[in-house]
Structure 1
């Protein structure tokens, strides 16, 4: 079943007829409307004294009006498949076309009408009559089409929460899709302005608080949340209300996915745990981002990881001159290439296989490819693993970061974004200390180069490889038990797309040497997440508390004890400063000692580094 592409290019419409036949019939109705309107107009003018009507001039006028309707209507794309039947856009174009026809007819009739036997008022009277007939024909056709293409009798009766644009579009899509498994029977909205709104034949029946009564009244079995910027708190409220009543609760894809064409309005899905604890896409100042990414050579380290791959996907949208994806994981690089280039051939220069621990290889890549913007996402991130192997954290998160920083300096990188973690704020773990040192090295390189070298700090991202949610899901699938460290432990969570969106924007608004801290919202209790996931799975799985692991905090922090923050540019990004530390101050022996003690870093103890004897003036400040 083909449809028009907006230019009349397709051959068949929804009814299976050729477009020329469909729009030829549409024009025939419009021509008949003008002819009838002219006849009725003259009859009204002569107060139904038909003997006073000059039939031949009247018929000529009707024929001319019909011919003009074809010419003018064609110029307004009325008969070329441009408009969906009965939409406001078609009505507006039709009204303009009929008005133009009337004006063109009115001029000669006004000048010569009495001479040829046509009253000057004929066109004025005929205009509203013709419009009424044309509008009426289209309205009846639309009613017929909507009835014909309504969902079948087996479609689930559905309530839509959200009576705005998305809700209205969802109603329209459902009511005109015979294959839809859902038929809307009511809308809900908490905004009093929508109290008396009706979309098509579907009225707003109340607010979410009325869900119980409305679901019983309509016999609804499904609740769809159709609110573009619904946050996790709203989704939890809707999900809990719907689930308590035995309704299936579904959500729409993210608005940016709909606008990008990756999904459609009818691609509804069940509520996921990510929806209930995560955050959703934020408004982005595109001009700010495009200014430093468009037309630039951009390199991403750790491009095969969850954060790196999403960064690459988002960066491509801003038109960089070249995107260079670097990682030591060839399988991860292939996945990143699939997401950005649409293939995973691994034989093109956009993918680079290299290890950030290898300073010589890294320097060769940077000097050869000359990136202008660098996002440093490569890191070891699993806290318990690094507690066992602190040397690996030193080699990758500290020395590896230093290698990337020095390579960036040597090739003249102007914007460098080091991706950090909330565990770097008042660190108590090997991971936190290593990322804290990486922030300090980045701040030092900003002083060294006078370029925009900065760090971005945020908490847990939902769904990244090896993170909590996939681990819980695997434990639940295997029958449990689900292991939770502590009943009161909390963590900050953010979706990968939102985290990367803010990271990319941070590169455009940050100043040299800053640490930008992403607003993570309210922390979420891990036990609540585990309980929700078990409930959503429908399984009977036990939860076992294992106790906090070495170096692990009960509650994470985003801001260090000695840091002062401000939000001058973006409501969800705070700016802070850390002590700048030069590479000459790094001391592996001191690192080993400090990792044994893991003292909280307050920027005066200088954890993991030792102050050098000689510091060039203006190159480092504590």
Structure 2
């Protein structure tokens, strides 16, 4: 909740709690042995109705001697395994294992002494271990409960429902409840597993499923909902956000698995849900063994390494320990940024940074002969559809001939594995961009027939956060006060975050079949109008939205597959594959290619139900202003 202007924000006071001191643990365990031996011995005599009044002195002496032996063994063993050196969290499972092992060892030695000397009744042996361990564990659990009861969130903490009663939820609720400075105070769990209904986790009940989210928020007075699920996609988040947004409740998520690899997720890493989460959060399932198998210890080269996709590919590949990683680009500033992000320096005087242009075949051949790459990821390309509609020659030089140059250089040095980065616009292309990338796929299929290595293409839709992509453009327009420019009220696009797309690209390289195109599962297409609406609502501003109409060559709805492609998905649940008709370089000619691209572009414009939008809007001099209601972006 927002504090009123001028209001003083209360400073939470941290209540310090003393840790469980080592001497207290030793005293507790020694006392446990004394109580155990005394109670069991006396009880044995009483139950047997044996008169021992005359021998009480001997009984007490024997119990005392055995207790001293148990204390000595317990203390020596406890210091050896770190039990009394604060190496374990009090009351934790780790401490319980060590404590049980130590108590068992002491019991075995005491039992041997009792059997040899008959100092106390031998029947006592059977109950020594469970009773001593029970007392030791009970004291620790009580101490832990007292400490955690004193370290609760302050009164200023926001009541929150936790969505997900699994391992992550268990960890989060404990961290929240023992932290006096926690911003959130958990009040209950939500979980869609019917078997967890009424389940109690760290003192909190599972109150119901996500279908009752609105009801449970009202019932508990929650002001926030925290997603405590390890794997969530954008569709699920959008559904939950629709409910929380209508109730005026915050929705918080943890970093994705990519961010979590660099730092442990805990309650302090929570953040408010972003548009990136709602549009493109698609967790990837990576087979680490297969990926490591073709990257670890290999010389890997990435073209377009200064771009958004290429740079993230380099970061992903670097995790798998290649022998050498070569980052190739003609953008020296991009290479500088990528090198800093991976190696922590931007010296640009090392062998890994390669300044070269894929449109220069001789220069590219020299680089490949010198570096001798074994794996190549080809990400260099021109990608802005409207720009390439104006300058198709540039698309031909870079996306077609540039790809051919990289393929020829790879074939010349015997590259083992080649992965061409394509786009969904190559499926039944209607633009110069799509047509050029489709030709790159066909050339890759041709190369697969020439060499002994594996040559595949990987196709996916829009990525969030890339330079010139939709979200940064919208954000800049909103910050300037608008208008937000959109193309058509019904246009949809597929979205994925850059790290998640690159993870699947790397996986596709491991399972790709020679000459085929691998198609990444992008989830459900997203209406751009909904994205624009959410971004404006989340900004809190009143921003005008203007429809500009579909541009030449743009589709109303993108396709990941061509209508003629026979798609299969036998190797990975998120990656499909389809054969690609090869195209020989000897058949390449610019004029026929351009004519075909133009014909496709014109056909695509008519078939998307949006070819006349721009003309109709400009003809009527009509601008639709929705003030944050509904719109669609440049994509």
Alignment TM-score, normalising by the size of structure 1: 0.90
Aligned counterpart for 2:159 among listed residues 157, 160, 164: 157
Equivalent in the alignment of 1:68: 73
User: 2:420 matched to 1:418?
Assistant: yes
Give the deviation of 1:598 after TM superposition. Answer: 3.8
Paired with 1:264 and 1:285, the residues of 2 have a C-alpha distance of 25
- Residue 86 of structure 2 is aligned to residue 81 of structure 1: yes
Q: Which residue of 1 aligns with 2:446?
A: 444
In structure 1, the gaps of 5 or more residues are 1-13, 603-622
- What CA distance in whole angstroms lies between the structure 2 residues aligned with 1:472 and 1:36? 72
Provide the secondary structure at the position in 2 that maps to 1:428. Answer: coil
Partner of 1:285: 287
Q: What is aligned with 2:272? A: 270
Cα deviation for residue 596 of structure 1 reads 4.2
The Cα shift of 1:536 comes to 1.5
- The alpha-carbon deviation at position 259 of structure 1 amounts to 4.7
Coordinate RMSD, CA, aligned: 2.2
Query: Any idea what SS the aligned residue of 1:214 has?
Result: helix
What secondary structure is seen at the aligned counterpart in 1 of 2:232?
coil
Report if aligned partners of 1:362, 1:404 keep a CA contact under 8 Å in 2.
yes
How far 1:581 moved relative to its partner? 1.3
Question: Take 1:212 and 1:56, find their aligned partners in 2: how far apart are those partners?
Answer: 68
Instruction: Give 3-state SS (helix, strand or coil) of 1:355's partner.
Output: coil
What secondary structure sits across from 1:138 in the alignment?
A: helix
2:40 alignment partner in structure 1: 41
C-alpha separation between the residues in 2 aligned to 1:436 and 1:562?
A: 14
Closer, same or farther: CA 38–172 of 1 in aligned 2, 3 Å: same
In 2: Cα distance, 1:370 partner to 1:213 partner: 62
SS in 2 for 1:409: helix
One of 212, 220, 232 as aligned partner of 2:222: 220
Q: Aligned-pair distance for 1:434?
A: 0.9
Q: CA deviation at 1:216?
A: 3.2
CA shift at 1:130, angstroms?
2.0
Separation of aligned partners in 2, 1:332 and 1:27: 60
- Contact kept? 1:258, 1:265, Cα under 8 Å: no
d(CA) in 1 for partners of 2:601, 2:509: 31
Offset at residue 76 of structure 1 (A): 4.2
d(CA) in 1 for partners of 2:332 and 2:207?
54
Counterpart CA distance in 2 for 1:154 and 1:356 is 59
Stretch moving more, 516-525 or 583-592: 583-592
Moved more, 276-285 or 69-78: 69-78
Contact 1:46-1:52 within 8 A present in 2 as well: no
Q: Check 1:560–1:228 CA distance in 2 against 1; reply closer, same or farther (3 A cut).
A: same
SS, match of residue 36 in structure 1:
helix
- Using the TM superposition, name which of 34-43 and 228-237 deviates more: 34-43
The 1:262/1:341 distance shift into structure 2, 3 A limit, reads farther
Deviation sequence 1:543-576 (CA, Å, 0-9, x none): 2111110111111111223321111211222211
Partner secondary structure for residue 405 of structure 2? helix
Question: Cα 1:79–1:259, aligned 2, differ >3 Å: closer, same or farther?
Answer: farther
Counterpart position of 1:112 = 117
Measure, in 1, the Cα distance between the counterparts of 2:215 and 2:513: 54
Counterpart of 1:528 in structure 2 is: 530
Equivalent residues in 2 for 1:74-153 (5 A)? 74-113=79-118, 117-153=119-155
CA contact (8 A) 2:254 2:269 kept: yes
Shift of 1:367: 0.7
After superposition, give the CA deviation of every residue in 1:449-474 in whole Å (9 maximum; x if it has no partner).
Answer: 13211111111112211111111111
CA distance 1:216–1:279, change in 2 (3 Å) = closer
What secondary structure sits across from 2:86 in the alignment? coil
When residues 222 and 552 of structure 1 are mapped into structure 2, their CA distance, relative to the original with a 3 A threshold, is same
Deviations 1:246-292 (CA, angstroms, capped at 9, x unpaired):
21110111235335426544301111112112142221111211111
Aligned position for 1:378: 380
How far apart are the structure 2 equivalents of 1:599 and 1:200? 60
* Structure-2 residue corresponding to 1:608: none
Deviations 1:352-399 (A, max 9, x none): 122111222211111101000000000010001111111111111111
Give 1:611's aligned residue: none
Shift of 1:51: 5.5
Q: Cα–Cα, structure 1 residues 459 and 45, in superposed 2: closer, same or farther, change >3 Å?
A: same
- Aligned partner (choices 163, 184, 187) of residue 185 of structure 1: 187
1:84-127 per-residue CA deviation (whole Å, 9 max, x = no partner) reads 111122223212221221122112202312xxx42223343443
TM-score by length of 2: 0.88
* Whole-Å separation in 2 of the counterparts to 1:374 and 1:558: 23
Q: Distance in 2 between matches of 1:350 and 1:50?
A: 88
Match in the other structure for 2:593: 591
